[in-house]
Amino acid sequence: MKGALFITLEGGEGVGKSTNLFFVRKMLEDAGIRVVVTREPGGTALAEKIRLLLLENNDEPVSETAELLLLFAARAQHIQHVIKPALAQGRWVLCDRFTDASYAYQAGGRGMDISMIKWLENKVQGRLRPDLTLLLDAPVEIGMVRANKRSKPDRFELEKQAFFERVRAAYLLRAKQNPQRMKIVNADQPLQKVQDEISTFIKPFL
């Protein structure tokens, strides 16, 4: 049996990641598990600075390559200073987004070549991969309505619906290609039902 687990939460905009991250955290803590909750891009002081650079709207367009490299620069910091040390100490890591988001947003949304993402994934992560990924899935329109109710849109949230349709399709494809690790949760239903589904995926690990 593996020791501490690395669990990630993924999904498009407005699918309820924050609420459900809190729910998963509580489930784990109630089971007596020590959990480190973190997010990407971000999770360390430097990675959070990179996050700000990635999300801010600027006059200077951000090249796709620059975006991908910044994401992986933040990821390298996060892995070295937060994720690996936590797992080594027997703490579970619960992370709001990880590399599946790069496959969904940069390859799916932006249309970047997957081989570059795979190369960076191998170089930056070594053998580190999530043990379980919950993909919160909902039709794009529903997520966009929820996300638009929030504060000023960031650089990603300014993208058009077609971009988020590609993101969603790429996430679903990844889940299909990684059925053992990635579990699709229908986020387009009452919260109680969403959380019942999440529980069924988490319970076998407790």
Is the Cβ of residue 16 or residue 41 nearer to ligand TMP in the bound state? 41
DSSP H or E segment with residue 80: none
The encoded tokens of residue 149 equal 């109710």
State yes or no: residue 102 binds ligand TMP (CB under 6 A): yes
The nearest distance, CB 204 to ligand TMP, in angstroms, is: 26
Number of residues that bind ligand TMP (CB under 6 A): 9
State yes or no: residue 101 binds ligand TMP (CB under 6 A): yes
Is the Cβ of residue 33 or residue 49 nearer to ligand TMP in the bound state? 49
Q: Report the C-alpha dihedral over residues 59, 63, 67, 69, rounded to 10 degrees.
A: -140
Is the Cβ of residue 57 or residue 89 nearer to ligand TMP in the bound state? 57
DSSP H or E segment with residue 91: none
Contacts of 186 (CB under 8 A, 6+ apart): 137, 138, 193, 194, 197
The nearest distance, CB 42 to ligand TMP, in angstroms, is: 8
State yes or no: residue 97 binds ligand TMP (CB under 6 A): yes
The encoded tokens of residue 148 equal 């638009």
Question: What angle (nearest 5°) sits at the alpha carbon of residue 166, between those of residues 66 and 201?
Answer: 100
CA–CA distance, 101 with 95 (Å, rounded to integer): 12
Could you say which residues in the range 129-158 bind ligand TMP, by CB under 6 A? 156
User: Which among 108, 111, 118, 138 has a CA at the least distance from the CA of 11?
Assistant: 138
End-to-end alpha carbon distance in the chain: 11
Task: Please say whether the beta carbons of 172 and 109 come within 8 A.
Answer: no
Is the Cβ of residue 150 or residue 203 nearer to ligand TMP in the bound state? 150
The nearest distance, CB 22 to ligand TMP, in angstroms, is: 14
Is the Cβ of residue 40 or residue 137 nearer to ligand TMP in the bound state? 40
Interface with ligand TMP (CB under 6 A), residue from 71, 93, 120, 185: 71
Q: Which residues are near ligand TMP by CB under 6 A? A: 40-41, 71, 97, 101-102, 105-106, 156
